[in-house]
Amino acid sequence: MPVQRLTTLTAGTKTIAAPVIEALASQLRGSILDSSDASYDEARAIWNGMVDRRPGLIISCAAAADVVSAVRFVRENGLLVSVRGGGHGIAGNAVCDGGVMIDLSPMKSIHVDEAAQRAWVEPGATLADVDKETQAFGLAVPTGINSTTGIAGLTLGGGFGWITRKFGLTLDNLVSVEVVTADGELRRASESENPDLFWALRGGGGNFGVATKFEFRLHKVGPQVLAGLVVHPLSEAETVLKAYRQALEVAPDELTCWAVMRQAPPLPFLPVEWHGKEVLILAMCYCGDLAEGERATMRLRSFGTPIADVVGPAPFTAWQQAFDPLLTPGARNYWKSHDFTELSDAAVGILTGAVRHLPDPECEIFIGHVGGAAGRVAADATAFPQRSSHFVMNVHARWREPGMDRTCIGWARELFDAAKPYSAGTAYINFMPGDEVDRVQEAYGDNYHRLAKLKRRYDPSNLFRMNQNVAPTTSSQAA
């Protein structure tokens, strides 16, 4: 491999001699790529097609020892570093320009202990990988709603989906984490080992190191759940959403229902005349007894005059993948998000109005239904603080042509601004785009100061800055 000029933490460049890179390569079970390698472009490509960055080197890790070597290399040379897990990352922080990308996607090992109801998962695994292994034993960990999401980023930032109301956030089910910190040491963090680091990792994103293994608590789920869609014309959206929010006030923890507003995709159960027209979709899942689920979902299925109702028994793994076709890689994506403690009439009106002016057929707005077990955790128990929000709005602008960037991003920002007066004032870091660095402190609220102090302890030089960054406190701040 030739001499490399790599970007440093101070935005300069540093020349790394070929023998130094060769020495690093000799320590790895994985490999090192540069722009001359045939697989380089594939390795640097991520889910969000708007992100087109060119790392100077890509260190593809096969095991935790590779991560240790990679972190020590970038630390010793003062190099800019990004960390790629196994999935999405709307902000694109997985890839840096000119620096070193630590690629964890080859690390996909999963081990399930059925008796102990535990799973040990490496950071390159996707939610589909995790579900496949855990559901073989009728077990699950609460994760997100798109199976191509990476488990690492999801967990470190929060993690909520169809069974969160019953079993908590993904990070609430974290028992321990193995992590390589900025000093190049592999540490284990749990309630009893490095508990302050464990607190920070549960919601602090990639600020505190590179996670190499997660230990999760599992729960009995499935193999079948009661799940599916109820589709309404957008003309009924305001009426249905107002009834929806009332029904959810008394919903059992086993029941989760999300609202999605978009143009109807060409689903086989929808009449052809509705394809491409604006609709409101209630997507629901009941993770308990199927007969109880029929009774629990009855009210949500009785609103208005649906175009279709396809709620019924389904394999949990299939329901986890139901929205995958709408989130395939390669499209251009830009998200804006708010938390809501309630869906006010004004907020409902703003959201439904925006759907009547979608800038692209792939754009959508979804309202995630959370609370339940996730809301019965103290705000300071983990770094993730948004325990009181009942709904999470994601304005999902998605399109294909670069010429549509300004229009689609502008639509998302305009809706975000209009809805802000009715929001809780917090933010979910996993939904924050790369230009929202000013919202990081808002996202963590009262937990931010403690995070900044821990950042100073574990990463005083801010080596891990390609993330929704928490800057370490200065010595004067610490005092």
With a cut of 80, say whether residue 479 has pLDDT above it.
no
Longest dimension (CA), the chain: 70
Over residues 430-446, the pLDDT tens digits come to 999 999 999 999 999 99
- Is there a domain that residue 455 lies in? no
The verdict on 71 and 48 lying in the same domain is: yes
Instruction: Tell me how far apart the alpha carbons of residues 75 and 78 are, in angstroms, rounded to a whole number.
Output: 5
Q: Do both 187 and 234 map to the same domain?
A: no
Mean pLDDT in residue range 223-239: 97
- 164 assigned to some structural domain: yes
**Co-location of 301 and 390 in the same domain:** yes
CA 272, 276, 278, 281 torsion-angle sign: positive
Q: Record the tokens describing residue 17, joined without a space.
A: 């001699």
HSE at residue 234, side-chain half, CA atoms within 13 A, is 22
pLDDT tens by residue, 258-291: 999 999 999 999 999 999 999 999 999 999 999 9
| Strand ranges in 378-457 using DSSP code E only, listed in sequence order | 391-399
Question: Which residues fall within 8 angstroms of residue 377, CB to CB, at 6 or more apart?
Answer: 168, 169, 172, 387
Query: Please, what is the average pLDDT of the chain?
Result: 96
Give me the number of domains the chain comprises. 3
Given a cut of 60, whether residue 335 has pLDDT beyond it is yes
Q: Residue 476 pLDDT > 60, yes or no? A: no
In the structure encoding, which two tokens stand for residue 13, read together? 């460049």
Query: Which pLDDT value is given to residue 478?
Result: 55
Measured CA to CA, the distance from residue 391 to residue 249 in angstroms comes to 12
Distance of CA 18 to the CA centre of its chain: 37
Same domain, 405 and 391: yes
Phi, psi of 27 (to 5 degrees): -85, -15
At residue 89, the pLDDT reads 86
Residues 164, 160: Cα–Cα separation, whole Å: 5
Predicted pLDDT at 84: 97
Please choose, from the candidates 120, 206, 127, 201, the residue with its C-alpha nearest in 3D space to the C-alpha of residue 163: 127
Clarify whether residues 149 and 285 are in a common domain: no
Q: Are residues 146 and 21 in the same domain?
A: no
Q: Identify whether residues 130 and 88 lie together within a single domain.
A: no
> Would 248 be classed as within a structural domain?
yes
We report the CATH number of the domain holding residue 433 as: 3.40.462.20
Q: Any idea what the CATH number is for the domain that residue 43 is in?
A: 3.30.43.10
- For residue 475, pLDDT over 90 is answered with no
Place of tokens 């999935």: 87
Average pLDDT over residues 333-355: 96
Q: Which residue type occupies 45?
A: A
User: What secondary structure letter does DSSP report for 385?
Assistant: -
Bridge partners of residue 102, in order along the sequence: 59, 83
Residues in the chain: 479
71, 103, 135 — which closes off a domain? Answer: 103
In a domain, 263, yes or no: yes
Q: Are residues 126 and 244 in the same domain?
A: no
Residues 240 and 215 in one domain: no
d(CA 452, CA 472): 5
- For the domain that residue 210 is a member of, what is the CATH number? 3.30.465.10
Domain span holding position 81: 4-103
User: Do 257 and 185 have their domain in common?
Assistant: no
* Residue 281 located in a structural domain: yes
Q: Is the dihedral of CA 98, 100, 104, 106 positive or negative?
A: positive
Q: Where are the beta strands (DSSP E) in 34-79?
A: 57-60
Instruction: Indicate the helix (H) or strand (E) that contains 278.
Output: strand 278-286
403, 319: one domain? yes
Percent of the chain scored above 70 by pLDDT? Answer: 99
The residue-averaged pLDDT of 316-329 equals: 94
Domain boundary among 187, 220, 253: 220
Per-residue model confidence (pLDDT) at position 2: 80
User: Does 468 fall in a domain?
Assistant: no
Does residue 451 sit within a domain? no
Count how many Cα atoms sit within 13 Å of the Cα of residue 448 in the half-sphere of its side chain. 17
Residue type, 123: P
CA–CA dist 46, 93 (Å, integer) = 10
pLDDT at 469: 97
Could you report the per-residue pLDDT of 91-117, keeping only the tens digit for each?
999 999 999 999 999 999 999 999 999
Same domain, 195 and 231: no
pLDDT at residue 477, as a whole number? 61
In a domain? residue 354: yes
Q: Which residue, 103, 118, 138, sits at the end of a domain?
A: 103
Determine the pLDDT at residue 423.
95
Mean pLDDT of 233-238: 97
Provide the percentage of residues in the chain whose pLDDT is more than 90.
95
Global confidence as pTM: 0.95
